[in-house]
């Protein structure tokens, strides 16, 4: 049995009997699948109190009881080209790079799973009626590892190991003839972290929250470039309705240059709707 399972098995067994209706986080690593309740996680000796100076979802400093993701994943057999997908109850799927999660880089960002205590609920998210709970991935020193706004998934229901997007989906690949430093490649990397949490491209991706951004048509084919830039920055500035789900990206989440890189990738992919390699 991997160590991942043993850490929590005892806590899990002692609490589930009393907390059948409690929210639980599913952790899937290969064939090992486990369900961890909020109270089991809160009772873990690895859980700490942390202060998040600049919380992405709340937009202000926040205090949490949280367990380091490195402790949660400790002992799980993961390979370098895997990512952890954090699946939220609304269909959002964040891709979290393993080396950042496992704090492979000294002085790098530290990922935590914040757990909403059943007896001390978190406030509602800005503009929403629900909180970020029951489980929310937060970071200390996110800038040290280039962690982006879409890598703070909230309302998380499942964490699962998966092959990296590049290995899994050849449909995302750029023309192999492009130079290593080509801006289209930088756009691709940004697209994977910032857009694929909600969008597919050429049918590739884990989320169905937003439309596929290449098939049947690519936004560069029906948006003027300026309108597309405006849309990515602030969709509501172009069209607005109550149920819209894409919030947009402020200049901290994506600079003007980074939006240009993503559009360069989209343009490039418009010519690769059926590319096989
Ligand atoms: C939180 C989820 C989410 C993220 C992250 C996200 N989008 Fe969206 N996007 C949506 C949804 C959902 C729609 C459909 C309209 C709506 O509900 O807002 C949409 C619509 C769009 C559209 C309009 C498509 C059309 O034909 O109307 C474009 C273009 C777009 N997104 C591009 C992007 C790009 C580029 C990124 C990354 C920089 C991105 N989105 C990130 C959820 C998201």
**Ligand 1 mean position, distance from CA 106 (Å):** 35
Two tokens at 188? 């691709």
Give residues (CB < 6 A) around ligand 1.
Answer: 92, 150, 194-195, 197-199, 209-211, 213, 219, 231-232, 235, 244-246, 249, 262
What is the average pLDDT score of the chain?
Answer: 91
Query: Over pLDDT 90: what percentage of the chain?
Result: 80
**Ligand 1 mean position, distance from CA 195 (Å):** 7
> Rounded mean pLDDT of 167-178?
96
Which value, to the nearest 10 degrees, does the dihedral of the CA atoms of residues 261, 262, 265, 266 take? -140
Ligand 1 nearest-atom number relative to CA 217? 26
For the chain, the C-alpha Rg in angstroms (whole number) is 19
Whether the predicted pLDDT of 47 surpasses 90: yes
**pLDDT higher at 162 or 3:** 162
Q: What angle do CA 114, 117, 118 make, to 5 degrees?
A: 140
**Ligand 1 mean position, distance from CA 217 (Å):** 14
Q: Give me the pLDDT at residue 261, please.
A: 98
**Ligand 1 mean position, distance from CA 252 (Å):** 18
Query: What is the band of 20 on the pLDDT scale with cuts at 50, 70, 90?
Result: low
Query: Among 12, 14, 66, 67, which Cα is nearest to 34's?
Result: 12
Ligand 1 nearest-atom number relative to CA 223? 29
Q: Which of 199, 219, 243 to mutate to test the pocket of ligand 1 (most atoms within 8 A of CB)?
A: 199
Ligand 1 nearest-atom number relative to CA 222? 26
**Ligand 1 mean position, distance from CA 231 (Å):** 9
Query: What is the band of 80 on the pLDDT scale with cuts at 50, 70, 90?
Result: confident
Distance of CA 277 to the CA centre of its chain: 26
Query: What is the band of 148 on the pLDDT scale with cuts at 50, 70, 90?
Result: very high
Q: Which of 153, 188, 207, 210 to mutate to test the pocket of ligand 1 (most atoms within 8 A of CB)?
A: 210
**pLDDT higher at 208 or 7:** 208
- Please tell me the distance from the alpha carbon of residue 63 to that of residue 57, in angstroms, as a whole number: 13
**Ligand 1 mean position, distance from CA 199 (Å):** 7
Q: Give me the pLDDT at residue 124, please.
A: 98
> Rounded mean pLDDT of 195-216?
97
Condensed to tens digits (0 to 9), the pLDDT of residues 223-263 reads: 999 999 999 999 999 999 999 999 999 999 999 999 999 99
> Rounded mean pLDDT of 170-185?
97
Ligand 1 nearest-atom number relative to CA 228? 29
**Ligand 1 mean position, distance from CA 246 (Å):** 5
Query: What is the band of 276 on the pLDDT scale with cuts at 50, 70, 90?
Result: low
Condensed to tens digits (0 to 9), the pLDDT of residues 51-73 reads: 999 999 999 999 999 999 999 98
Q: Give me the pLDDT at residue 275, please.
A: 66
- Please tell me the distance from the alpha carbon of residue 99 to that of residue 79, in angstroms, as a whole number: 10
């Amino acid at each position: 049995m991997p160590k991942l399972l043993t850490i929590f098995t005892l806590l899990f067994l002692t609490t589930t009997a009393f907390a059948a209706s409690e929210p639980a986080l599913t952790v899937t690593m290969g064939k090992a699948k486990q369900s961890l309740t909020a109270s089991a996680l809160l009772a873990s000796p690895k859980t700490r109190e942390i202060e998040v100076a600049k919380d992405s979802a709340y937009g202000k400093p926040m205090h949490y009881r949280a367990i380091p993701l490195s402790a949660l994943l400790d002992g799980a057999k993961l390979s370098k080209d895997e990512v952890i997908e954090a699946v939220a109850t609304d269909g959002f799927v964040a891709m979290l790079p393993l080396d950042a999660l496992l704090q492979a880089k000294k002085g790098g960002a530290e990922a935590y799973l914040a757990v909403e205590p059943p007896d001390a609920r978190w406030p509602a998210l800005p503009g929403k009626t629900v909180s970020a709970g029951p489980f929310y991935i937060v970071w200390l020193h996110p800038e040290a590892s280039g962690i982006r706004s879409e890598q703070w998934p909230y309302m998380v229901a499942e964490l699962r190991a998966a092959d990296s997007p590049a290995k899994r989906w050849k449909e995302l690949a750029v023309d192999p003839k492009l130079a290593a430093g080509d801006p289209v490649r930088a756009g691709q990397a940004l697209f994977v972290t910032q857009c694929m949490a909600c969008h597919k491209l050429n049918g590739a991706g884990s989320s169905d929250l937003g439309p596929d951004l290449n098939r049947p048509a690519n936004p560069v084919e029906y948006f003027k470039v300026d309108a597309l830039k405006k849309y990515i920055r602030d969709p509501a500035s172009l069209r607005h309705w109550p149920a819209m789900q894409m919030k947009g990206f402020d200049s901290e989440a994506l600079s003007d240059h980074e939006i240009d890189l993503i559009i360069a990738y989209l343009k490039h992919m418009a010519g690769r709707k059926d590319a096989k390699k």
